[in-house]
Amino acid sequence: MKALFRENATAGASRWGAEGDVLALDSRAARWAYRIIFAACAVGLALAGVLRIHGYATGPAVVRVDGRRAVTATFPGTIERVLVAPGQRVEEGAPLVTFYSADERAQYDRVSSELDLQLVRLLRDPSDVGAKQSLTALKAQKDLAASILKQRVLRAPVAGAVTDIRVRPGQRLAAGEPVLALAPKDAPISLVCAIPGEYRPMIATGLPVRFSLDGYRYEYHDMVVEDVGTEVVGAAEVRRYLGPETADALHLAEGSYVLVRGRIPSSFLSEGKTYGYFDGLTGTADIRVRKESLAVILIPALKAVIE
């Protein structure tokens, strides 16, 4: 039977008398790798327990000018002239726009002519009872026609600066449609935020708010919560509160919301330039509502153990 190993190989193995290692490894590299891994884990656990992560309640927001007064048409009609310009200061009672009043003017002139005729008739015959009765009726009609003619001029309900003119000559308006707006001089600027209703128990006055204006990326402005709604309302109620001029600008999903208000400066800085805020500008508001450790966020079960 042929041997499994060669004779010279078995002779060499018996001469050395000891078994050698197939591969010799240096254990120092493995020891240092384990030390680095353990140190990184320890540092990570320490940071997870020390670091605090802020939680934010986010919702759409709109800029409002405090004291701004919307002027609407009190009756249906067609605009004849716009007597003011944007930015113009007007006093209370100043004429803003006039409506076409040809029919009302014709009615007033007709009644005035008839009144004059009856007055002449009465002067000729002071005992004319019919003339006296006609004179009384025509005087009442003239006063009514004069009142209607006066209403064809829309006047400023309060003093302020003219903003947001919505009409032009020849435009037909229905009663209640917006004409323009009046803003007081140096009026403060507020931010109205629609925050999801589930955050209402966490929101209180004094909480910090970060606001970013749409169209200005990475431009953040800070304020604090000054007023919080006492009730949680639906999206339709939020739109009603904001009014028809602003409601369509906000993208509100169906659900519940709480209204939060805060004061912001009248201007902001973007790329080295100063810009002013205008009523109706929209953005996003982030309200800081909670602060938790990183360990609890990564492992929620730790919250019950810590508490």
Provide the 10 A C-beta neighbour count for residue 220: 13
Q: Is the pLDDT of residue 1 over 70?
A: no
CATH code of 194's domain: 2.40.30.170
- My answer on whether 192 and 296 are in the same domain is yes
CA of 160: how far to CAs of 62, 129, 184, 194, in Å?
A: 22, 53, 4, 28
Domain extent at residue 247: 52-66+188-306
Rounded Cα gap, residues 193 and 207, in angstroms: 13
For the chain, what is the domain count? 2
- My answer on whether 130 and 76 are in the same domain is yes
Contact 107, 113 (CB under 8 A): no
Average of per-residue pLDDT across 221-242: 87
Rounded Cα gap, residues 164 and 278, in angstroms: 10
Residue 256 has which token pair? Answer: 């519940």
- My answer on whether 96 and 112 are in the same domain is yes
Look at residue 10 and tell me if it is in a domain: no
**What pLDDT, on the 0 to 100 scale, is given for residue 297?**
59
Look at residue 45 and tell me if it is in a domain: no
Q: Which residues are CB-neighbours of 244 under 8 A, at least 6 positions away?
A: 178
**Mean residue pLDDT across the chain:** 79
Contact 288, 54 (CB under 8 A): yes
Bigger pLDDT: 123 vs 96: 96
- My answer on whether 160 and 229 are in the same domain is no
Single residue among 181, 205, 235 that ends a domain in this structure: 181
Q: Is-above-0.85 flag for pTM? A: no
Rounded Cα gap, residues 166 and 179, in angstroms: 5
- My answer on whether 139 and 284 are in the same domain is no
Contact 223, 263 (CB under 8 A): yes
The one-letter code for the residue type at 302 is L
Query: Partners of 293 in the beta sheet?
Result: 52
CATH code of 116's domain: 2.40.50.100
Average of per-residue pLDDT across 181-209: 86
Rounded Cα gap, residues 270 and 212, in angstroms: 11
Single residue among 150, 181, 212 that ends a domain in this structure: 181
Rounded Cα gap, residues 175 and 164, in angstroms: 18
Of the candidates 146, 76, 67, the one whose C-alpha atom is nearest the C-alpha of residue 111 is: 146
List, for residues 17-29, the tens digit of each pLDDT value. Answer: 555 555 556 677 7
**What pLDDT, on the 0 to 100 scale, is given for residue 247?**
67
Q: Which residues are CB-neighbours of 143 under 8 A, at least 6 positions away?
A: none
Single residue among 128, 163, 181 that ends a domain in this structure: 181
**pLDDT tier at 5 (50, 70, 90 boundaries)?**
low
- My answer on whether 176 and 200 are in the same domain is no
Contact 87, 163 (CB under 8 A): yes
